[in-house]
Amino acid sequence: MDDADLDRRFGPRVPGWTPPPRPGRIALQGRHVALEPLSAAAHADDLFRAYAGADSVWDYLPYGPFPDPPAYQAHAATMEGSEDPRFLAFRDAATGRAAGVASFLRIDPANGVIEVGHICLAPAMQRTVAATEGLFLMMRWAFGAGYRRCEWKGNALNLPSRRAAQRLGFAFEGVFRQAAIVKGRNRDTAWFSVIDGDWPGLRAAFGQWLDPANFDAQGRQRRRLTDLTRPLVAAPDPALAR
């Protein structure tokens, strides 16, 4: 049996594979946002104020909302000490204040797989260039470090999350039924991924979208990121075509 037959039967080899590093206490700098290792002391006050009055940001997360600053401070301290998930705070360059959190999780260097999740953006950061750039910086770090696959997962009922995944170029891979119980309710989980073969095209699309020339004097985008990534999405989410 020759190599081609073996590839067809068992899958292609991955020659010279070296597991990538785990994300440590990394910091990622963009034009509109800085991603910093989450620190309760440095970020919790900003974040609690940013989330105030917007309890819906916690709807699909396994924790929250938090009734007062000490409760959120304690939660942030727990997240700060976690290695998986590894949490990052999103500091808005325009205001200098933290207004969101995301993490790397299900970190599997042996297989080159990493997930971006626990995304919780305050209303002031939602639907902003800073938010998109922050998620791009995380994806760029993952593939630059040598990961082969970057995942996005969310409650199948969370259509905004599914739209965000598709806008960012993630391919829909299906729904895992009864995958978890969250806050006492069933959760079916929608799975998405970008793999290293997808990344060069998507990286170029992000570069086009983030280019200052893509925004007018009022900060309005000339081309939507969706229009740049849509032709590159390996498998569109059928729930979004309804």
In a domain, 18, yes or no: no
- The answer to whether the Cα torsion of 74, 80, 82, 88 is positive or negative is positive
In a domain, 13, yes or no: no
In a domain, 16, yes or no: no
- The pLDDT of residue 153: 98
- Ranges of residues in the chain with a pLDDT under 70 are 1, 242
Q: What is the CATH number of the domain that holds 122?
A: 3.40.630.30
- The pLDDT of residue 3: 76
- The pLDDT of residue 6: 81
Q: Give residue-wise pLDDT tens across range 46-94.
A: 999 999 999 999 999 999 999 999 999 999 999 999 999 999 999 999 9
In a domain, 15, yes or no: no
In a domain, 11, yes or no: no
| pTM of the entire predicted model | 0.96
Range of the domain at 154: 25-241
Our count of domains for the chain comes to 1
In a domain, 119, yes or no: yes
* DSSP collapsed to 3 states, the chain: CCHHHHHHHHCCCCCCCCCCCCCCCCCEECCCEEEEECCHHHHHHHHHHHHCCCHHHHCCCCCCCCCCHHHHHHHHHHHHCCCCCEEEEEEECCCCCEEEEEEEEEEEHHHCEEEEEEEEECCCCCCCHHHHHHHHHHHHHHHHHCCCEEEEEEECCCHHHHHHHHHCCCEEEEEEEEEEEECCEEEEEEEEEEECCCHHHHHHHHHHHHCHHHECCCCCECCCHHHHHHHHCCCCCHHHHC
In a domain, 7, yes or no: no
In a domain, 77, yes or no: yes
- The pLDDT of residue 242: 63
